Amino acid sequence: MSNSLVQFRTDEATRIKAVSICERLGIDLPTYMRMCMARLVQENGIPFSMKLDEFKPSRGLAAMKEASRIAEENGIADMSLEEINAEIAEARRQNK
């Protein structure tokens, strides 16, 4: 199947925003346009929605922040790695 060039005009601000969104999704704008056209034909209509949620901290990041807050409240936030490892070894020893 031969390729065909498709062109259209859009304002520069919209193009810049679209390129930025595509980059965050890990694709480039031409790839996105090819995806849209392929799915449009396959579904015989507008087939999908691709959205980026606003930044929401992951559960892991939230857990780390909570652990830091608890450590700060209990005065152990500045423990060295050696002190942390000693605490872990002692807790393991007591659990045997």
pLDDT of residue 55: 65
Confidence of residue 21 (pLDDT cuts 50, 70, 90): very high
Distance (Å, whole) CA 51 – CA 48: 10
* Mean residue pLDDT across the chain: 86
Q: What is the value of pTM for the model shown?
A: 0.48
Percent of the chain with pLDDT over 90: 34
pLDDT at 16 over 80: yes
Task: Tell me which of 60 and 38 has the higher pLDDT.
Answer: 38
Question: Are residues 40 and 46 in contact, defined by beta-carbon separation less than 8 angstroms?
Answer: yes
Torsion of CA 22, 27, 31, 34, to 10 degrees: -70
